[in-house]
Amino acid sequence: MNLATSAAEKLELRRDVTVWGSFMWGYADVGADIYAALGLVMAAAQGATHLAFALAGLVYIMIGLAYTELAATYPVAGGGQYFTLRGLGDFWGFIAGAALLLDYTIDIALFATASAGYVNFFLPVLFGVDVSQLAVSLGPLHHVNLFWMGESLLLVLFLIWLNIRGIRESSLFNEILGALDIITESTIIVFGFLFAWHPELLAHQWNTQFPTLRQFMYGSSLAIISFVGLESISQAAQETKRPATIVPRTSLTLIFTVLIFATAFPTMSLGVLPWQDIARSVGDPVARLAHSIPLIGVIAGPFAALLGATILLISANSGVMSASRLTYAMSQFQFISEWFNSVHPRYRTPHRTILVFTGIGVIQLVLSFLTPNAMDTLSNMYAFGATTGYILVLISLIKLRFSDPFAPRPYKVPLNLKLKHNGQRVQFPLLAVVGLLGVSSILFEVILTHAIGRIAGPAWLVLAFAYYAWYRRRHGLPVMGSLPRDWETQQMQVLEAAEEYALLEQYRAALARREGRKGGVSP
The CATH number linked to 190 is 1.20.1740.10
Q: Which amino acid is at 203?
A: A
> Where would I find the H helices in 196-228?
199-208, 213-222
Determine contact, residues 365/148, Cβ cutoff 8 Å.
Answer: no
- Would 497 be classed as within a structural domain? no
pLDDT at position 8: 38
What DSSP state is assigned to residue 521?
-
Q: What is the spatial distance between Cα 490 and Cα 50, in angstroms, rounded to a whole number?
A: 45
pLDDT at position 154: 94
Residue 74's φ and ψ, nearest 5 degrees, are -125, 80
For the ranges 67-81, 334-348, 404-418, the maximum mean pLDDT occurs at 404-418
| Confidence tier at 89 by pLDDT (50, 70, 90) | very high
Work out whether the CA dihedral 476, 479, 481, 486 comes out positive or negative. Answer: positive
3-state secondary structure of 245: helix
Please calculate the CA angle 168-173-174 and round it to the nearest 5 degrees. Answer: 100
For 205-235, what is each residue's pLDDT tens digit?
Answer: 999 999 999 999 999 888 777 555 666 666 5
For 468-492, what is each residue's pLDDT tens digit?
Answer: 999 999 999 999 999 999 999 989 9
What DSSP state is assigned to residue 237?
G
Q: How many CB atoms lie within 10 A of CB 471?
A: 17
Residue 521 pLDDT exceeds 90: no
User: Across residues 394-420, what is the average pLDDT?
Assistant: 93
- Would 493 be classed as within a structural domain? no
pLDDT at position 253: 82
Q: Which of 63, 72, 68, 53 is nearest to 103 (CA)?
A: 63
Share above pLDDT 70 across residues of the chain, in percent, rounded to a whole number: 87
| Confidence tier at 3 by pLDDT (50, 70, 90) | very low
Across all residues in the chain, what is the average pLDDT? 84
Domain that holds residue 143: 3-485
pLDDT at position 335: 93
Residue 13 pLDDT exceeds 50: no
User: Across residues 360-380, what is the average pLDDT?
Assistant: 87
Q: Which of 482, 464, 443 is nearest to 101 (CA)?
A: 464
- Would 461 be classed as within a structural domain? yes
Q: What is the spatial distance between Cα 435 and Cα 173, in angstroms, rounded to a whole number?
A: 33
Task: Please tell me the least confidently modeled range out of 118-132, 287-301, 441-455.
Answer: 118-132
Q: What is the spatial distance between Cα 455 and Cα 464, in angstroms, rounded to a whole number?
A: 14
- Would 338 be classed as within a structural domain? yes
| Confidence tier at 371 by pLDDT (50, 70, 90) | confident
Q: Which amino acid is at 182?
A: I
- Would 514 be classed as within a structural domain? no
- Would 85 be classed as within a structural domain? yes
Q: Using only the alpha carbons of the chain, give its radius of gyration.
A: 23
- Would 504 be classed as within a structural domain? no
For 263-288, what is each residue's pLDDT tens digit?
Answer: 899 999 999 999 999 988 877 889 98
pLDDT at position 403: 92
Number of domains in the chain: 1
Q: What is the spatial distance between Cα 107 and Cα 425, in angstroms, rounded to a whole number?
A: 41
pLDDT at position 26: 65
What DSSP state is assigned to residue 211?
P
Q: pTM for the full model?
A: 0.85
Q: Which of 351, 389, 289 is nearest to 63 (CA)?
A: 389
- Would 490 be classed as within a structural domain? no
DSSP for 8-25 reads HHS------B-HHHHHHH
